A and B are shown apart, each in its own frame.
Chain A
Amino acid sequence: MIARPFTSAAVRTLATLLLMAAANAALAAGADLGQADKQATNWTAIGMFAVFVIGTLFITKWAAAKTKSAADFYTAGGGITGFQNGLAIAGDYMSAASFLGISAAVMVGGFDGLIYSIGFLVGWPIVTFLLAERLRNLGKFTFADVAAFRFEQTPVRVFAASGTLVVVAFYLIAQMVGAGQLIKLLFGLEYWIAVVIVGALMMVYVLFGGMTATTWVQIIKACLLLAGASFMAFMVLYNFGFSPEAMFAKAVEVKTGIAAAAGKSPQDAAAQGFSIMGPGGFIKDPISAISFGMALMFGTAGLPHILMRFFTVPNAKEARKSVLWATTWIGYFYILTFIIGFGAITFVLTNPQFLDAKGGLLGGGNMAAIHLANAVGGNVFLGFISAVAFATILAVVAGLTLSGASAVSHDLYSTVIMKGKADSAAELKVSRLTTVALGIVAVALGIAFEKQNIAFMVSLAFAIAASANFPVLLMSVLWKDCTTRGAVIGGFLGLASSVLLTLVSPAVWEVTLGNPKGSALFPYASPALFSMTIGFVGIWLFSILDRSPRAAQDRAGFVAQQVRSETGIGASGASGH
């Protein structure tokens, strides 16, 4: 059924795809946008992106006029509605890596890609049931406001700022490197130019427009991405008369054809073609599966730039509505990427126009969704999707930078150094200086890490968030006997163990540092199962052993904190007024 000239290309495509599948499974991170080849300059895409930039700069100008106090800068004055915040959270969470990476993973492994995307979704109900309202009721600007509510300010703030900055740093580097590769690929720009553009625009949004501009960039990006992905999924289904069975059948036929062309016997080829309809090699051992699932599920509940979004709404009701909207949009988005991945099997893998001389996808494995955009919507739609992918990165890095800047200015400068005596103007100045510093560091690291394999960085960010930030937050809010000492020691143990175990895991020790295969001390895909346990046990143990006068004060503060966390009224914490 597959034409002869396609055969040898198909063999090589298959080889590339198998390699990609192995890499995906081993690294278990969707953020790897990989090394990309520079493409011809795409003027349609650049034009559409220019429209997006000009539009968002006008919004930034409008937002700048409204950004006068620290509260405006960090939380848009608390005036965002639940629906808007839900879209902004979705915009923060649906990164270019999850759009391109997951649709590519579905194209390669079918059902395995679905398992992967489900992991990114299931943290949201946990956030809703355990944290969202309590965060809104207790916090002001950062999650440290909540974690340090009844504790001694300095140590808990230092811990929370460390947890925030480490998570933000790894997440930001991954996004910057991804941005450089992606833009080189989509727009035909040099890598360093792409990284500088992303850094400069992100600084402008955050510096002048603060949370208001960041929120609207995220909302616009979320709408564009959802609209573009909806159109692609609609066109794919339309071609199959809206029958998933017909789409699956064609995809199996294509995969069987590729396997047969690779020299498999008809029986083996049929089995291999059908393998996309069930779980494959993505999950090898149950420990890795559970550990990785925990990192994704609880990491979502510990990402500082996501937690910060709950302070932009006026009350607990809107906080709740935000998560419901966010969960709905993100869930819908993952269903779309699944259809897009299958669409890529049927429309991209069968079209030599999208395959390079070596038989791989033109521009690298993550181009599945981009080529599909071309296949179903032509060159103009390709330009649109490319511009949306760029906008996506901008929205994510702006949120990350804002979160890092607030950790430095609100937690370290205002609370730890100035002991709460800094005025709003001074705090605002420090957050703007930090934004510039973070922007420069992000660009420098983005350029330094160009040739590095950075796939482990996003999964590391999730593992740290799950092992350090989440346990401290949960225990401080829900456990009466938690003390300053317990939270700080346990939190740092979770932080250190997640970083160390990642360092000696195969993805870093063997793939990134180039040590021989099999030499990694820690054999599993994610440290979360172990490092989260270390974090929680550390908090528990050092809290119950704590007999200091401060511990008595910490425990005595629980009742008043609980009244506030449940009702939103009553005593405010040391930082809230």
Chain B
Amino acid sequence: MSDNNMHDSITTRILNDPRYQELKTKRTRFGGWLTLAMLVVYYGFILLVAFDKPFLATRLSAGVTTIGMPIGLAVIVFTVVITGIYVYRANREYDALTDAIAKAALTGALK
């Protein structure tokens, strides 16, 4: 019971911390935009395959390589890069914010 009360007070303190609201809003918004970007790129690619096959089979030059090849490769690279962008930002910005929030909430709990 006392354990629960302690958790409740920590939770309340975090909820009242403006940095928590900042973290929540920033992360949700950033994650949402990146999710949308991934959906647009993947389903854009799939719809291109479904509706405009000749475009993907267009030759780039005199050779046989088609425009579909770099596009397909780009979707793979995009998938890895967009994951990297999120992780890079989260590891710097969000973790620093989380640490600050945790520190404030937990030291408050010890008083």
Contact = CB atoms under 8 A, between A and B. Distances in A.
Interface stretch (A241-249, A389-397, A440-448, A544-552): A241-249
Interface stretch (A148-156, A318-326, A399-407, A496-504): A318-326
Given A111-B68, A569-B102, A289 B63 contact: no
At the interface, is chain A mostly helix, strand, loop or mixed? helix
B77 A571 contact: no
Contact of A278 (B14, B53, B95): B53
B4 A118 contact: no
A249 B49 contact: no
Interface in A448-504: none
A317 B91 contact: yes
Given A274-B64, A293-B46, A563 B14 contact: yes
Interface string A317-352: 100110110011001001100000000000000000
A318 to B, nearest CB: 10
A574 B83 CA distance: 32
A567 B20 CA distance: 8
A23 interface: no
B72 to A, nearest CB: 5
A297 B63 CA distance: 34
A327 B42 contact: no
Q: Which of A321, A323, A331 has the most CB of B within 10 A?
A: A331
A560 B4 CA distance: 12
Contact of B47 (A121, A133, A274, A286): A286
Interface in A287-302: 289-290, 293, 297
B106 A248 contact: no
B72 A114 contact: yes
Contacts of A129: 31-32, 34-35, 38, 86
B57 A277 contact: yes
Contacts of B15: 559, 563
Interface in B53-70: 53-54, 56-57, 63-66, 68-69
A275 B53 CA distance: 10
Interface string A204-226: 00000000000000000000000
A320 B72 contact: no
B50 A286 contact: yes
B50 to A, nearest CB: 4
A59 interface: no
A55 interface: no
Nearest to B97: A567
B43 A293 contact: yes
A283 interface: yes
Q: Which of B51, B53, B80, B82 has the most CB of A within 10 A?
A: B80
A285 to B, nearest CB: 7
Contacts of B47: 286, 289-290
A244 B65 contact: yes
A570 B98 contact: no
A122 B38 contact: yes
Interface in A552-566: 559-560, 562-564, 566
A343 to B, nearest CB: 15
Given A244-B65, A245-B63, A249-B63, A328 B80 contact: yes
Interface string B1-44: 00010011011001100001001100100011011001000110
Contacts of A328: 80, 83-84
A489 to B, nearest CB: 26
A109 interface: no
Nearest to B6: A571
Contacts of B8: 560, 571
A568 interface: yes
Contact of B64 (A128, A245, A331): A245
A334 B43 CA distance: 19
B11 A286 contact: no
Contacts of B7: 560, 570-572
A286 B35 CA distance: 22
Contacts of A316: 95, 98
Given A130-B35, A286-B51, A297-B42, A331 B77 contact: yes
Nearest to A296: B42
A50 interface: no
Contacts of A277: 57, 64-66, 68-69
Interface in A117-141: 118, 121-122, 124-126, 128-130, 133
B98 to A, nearest CB: 5
Given A252-B64, A293-B42, A323-B87, A335 B102 contact: no
Interface string A38-71: 0000000000000000000000000000000000
Contact of B83 (A125, A130, A133, A566): A125
B106 A569 contact: yes
A279 B87 contact: no
A476 to B, nearest CB: 16
A124 B11 contact: no
A521 interface: no
Nearest to A244: B65
17 contacts: A111-B66, A111-B72, A118-B76, A125-B35, A125-B38, A125-B83, A125-B86, A129-B86, A133-B90, A282-B49, A285-B50, A290-B46, A290-B50, A317-B90, A562-B24, A567-B101, A571-B11
Given A125-B83, A568-B98, 7 more contacts: A128-B83, A129-B86, A130-B31, A252-B64, A285-B50, A286-B50, A290-B46
Which 7 pairs between the two chains have the least Cβ-Cβ distance? A278-B57, A129-B31, A286-B50, A571-B7, A277-B66, A324-B87, A570-B11
Interface of A: 111, 114-115, 118, 121-122, 124-126, 128-130, 133, 244-245, 248-249, 252, 274-275, 277-279, 282-283, 285-286, 289-290, 293, 297, 316-317, 320-321, 323-324, 327-328, 331, 334-335, 559-560, 562-564, 566-572
